[in-house]
A and B are shown apart, each in its own frame.
Chain A
Amino acid sequence: MIEVISKETGNKEMVINMGPQHPSTHGVLRLELVLDGEIITKVRPNIGYLHRCFEKYAEQMDDYAKVIPYTDRMDYVSAINQEHGYVIALERMLELEVPERVEYIRVIMAELQRIASHLLGIGAFGLDLGAFSPFLYLFTEREKILDIFERVTGARLLYNYFAVAGLMRDVHPKFKADTAEFVRTFRPKIKELNDLLSYNKIFIQRTANIGVLPEKVAFNYAASGPVLRGSGVKWDLRKNDPYSIYDRFEFDIPVGTGEVGTLGDCWDRYIVRVKEMEQSLRIIEQALDGMPDEGDVMEAIPKRIRPKEGEIYVRTETPRGELGYYIVSDKSASPFRVKARAPSFVHLSVLPAISKGSLIADMVAIVGSIDIVLGEVDR
């Protein structure tokens, strides 16, 4: 069938623009698609529509702490995880001890954020493929997480909550109960999601065997996070290079198995996210148990942040993959340079490799399955 189509068109190529205004590009991304009939022969991502000068801002701020709000705005879907990497980098530079209670609250918040981010990613992915109701159900759950965040941090989306060696404010007394309640009610919802979307026949047909990313290609492009794990590689920085207190918790690394199609297809990348939410719930439960009730979360915050001359690279696992911060200090109060290694940017470069030869209608599925955030691509 596919050969017939391309023969009829006489192999004439056509260039189509997808974006920058397109509801399924997850932001302002422009893809130049070179088409041979219905088949994509080449994809050229065209970025820069959301370049917001992150590095320039980091250099201009007169305090290291003032960069934190801008890290939020890089990957606005998982703001807490962005802050986490940055504050850890500074703590390692300053060789600071972080209080126990702070670490536990941070982990709980980071995992809640991971769930919220996956909920949005999965919901939008379903929406792109025409499944509207899962999107609404998932957003109902996401709002519950945002409620917890709002009660703790005061904001719904961009929190500016983590501080160097501390937190902006302590959690409220009912935080533990709230979170435990969420964990309890959310577990059955994952099963519902599986019934509604994951094993839906139409959904499988639109995602299985599409956009296959073989393990080797994933390594060559330095993919990470769910995109890499979807190809069957057990690699999670929380386990392989533990930061914060992740070495204390028991959890599994879900990987793609090619259950309904080929290993490393869109469905595998999707199901890894679903399974990761379960693991995050496990981590939250353990962290809630271990969290000390007493302790000042603000006492260890340094008055002034003046790291020694030098540089550091710290990587953390965000919902999208390996986020690295490369910070250079010149002994002054403001950073000399802050460079972020953004997973979305890397995954966008995988896109041409995996979408070559697929049908134009599948492009939406492939873009959705790598779950990029354009704020992080362009920074």
Chain B
Amino acid sequence: MGMLDKKYHDSNIIIVGLESALNWARKNSLWYEQFGLACCAIEMMATAASRYDFDRFGIIPRSSPRQADVMIVAGTVTMKMASRILRLYEQMSEPRYVISMGSCSNCGGPYWEHGYHVLKGVDKVVPVDVYVPGCPPRPEALLEGFLKLQEKITGETILQKKESVK
């Protein structure tokens, strides 16, 4: 904090819109649900590990959907798994986001043609906010996906949305 050192040591007041303050807090503490499905999950692990280091963006893995803000669907979604994914999604508290990681969960990926047991896109069961392409996407790509999600959150109008519901 070199520049700000000793300058603002008295109690100070910041004036900021409520919405942008909420959004700012939200986008910088995106806790994701640790939920790997297939090959892409290995890259997700690599992104969370030492070299790419998710933590510096405030992105921290949680093991329970109830503590998570964002679900990364990393890997092939099969018919058997689809209903479970929906259930996990429903267990997450609002606001919740979904990142679809990899071709498989985007559209079926390499299994789109003859994969009789593969769901052709996770967006058939849960709404997706960001699609990350690749098979598997590089860790940088997943990070970019998170940055895109942060962008999306910045522009959110949570309070106004409530009014329109009334």
Contacts and interface: CB of A to CB of B under 8 A. Distances in A.
Among B49, B78, B111, which residue has the most Cβ atoms of chain A within 10 A? B49
* Residues of A contacting B: mostly: helix
B42 A136 contact: no
Interface residues of B, number: 36
B84 A50 contact: no
Contacts of A23: 34, 61, 63
A51 B78 contact: yes
A156 B111 contact: no
Given A21-B88, A27-B37, A69-B110, A49 B51 contact: no
Contact of B76 (A52, A143, A146): A52
Contact of A139 (B35, B46, B76): B46
Given A27-B41, A52-B118, A139-B49, A157 B136 contact: yes
Contacts, number: 97
A72 to B, nearest CB: 8
B135 interface: yes
A27 B78 contact: no
B148 interface: no
Contacts of B110: 69-70, 73
A156 B43 contact: yes
A157 B115 contact: no
A52 B117 contact: yes
Interface string A157-185: 11000000000000000000000000000
Nearest to B114: A60
B51 A140 contact: yes
A335 interface: no
B50 A137 contact: yes
Most B Cβ at <10 Å: residue of A50, A69, A124, A158: A50
Contacts of A20: 81, 84
**Which of A22, A27, A51, A124 has the most C-beta atoms of chain B within 10 angstroms of its own C-beta?**
A51
Contacts of B8: none
Contacts of A57: 111, 114-115
Interface in A40-75: 48-53, 56-57, 60, 69-70, 73
B113 interface: yes
A76 interface: yes
Nearest to B88: A21
A52 B78 contact: yes
Q: Identify which of A20, A52, A60, A139 gathers the most chain B CB atoms within 10 Å of its CB.
A: A52
Contacts of A374: 38
Contacts of A158: 39, 135-136
A69 B109 CA distance: 12
By CB atoms of chain B within 10 A, which of A22, A53, A135 has the most? A53
A50 B78 contact: yes
A265 to B, nearest CB: 26
A52 B111 contact: yes
12 contacts: A20-B81, A22-B63, A50-B37, A50-B78, A52-B115, A56-B115, A73-B110, A76-B39, A139-B46, A157-B136, A158-B39, A158-B135
Given A70-B110, A135-B49, 9 more contacts: A21-B65, A28-B37, A139-B45, A139-B49, A140-B51, A143-B51, A156-B43, A157-B42, A157-B136
Interface of A: 20-23, 27-28, 48-53, 56-57, 60, 69-70, 73, 76-77, 120, 124, 135-137, 139-140, 142-143, 146, 156-158, 374-375
Interface of B: 33-39, 41-43, 45-46, 49-51, 61, 63, 65, 75-76, 78, 80-81, 84, 88, 110-111, 113-118, 135-136, 138
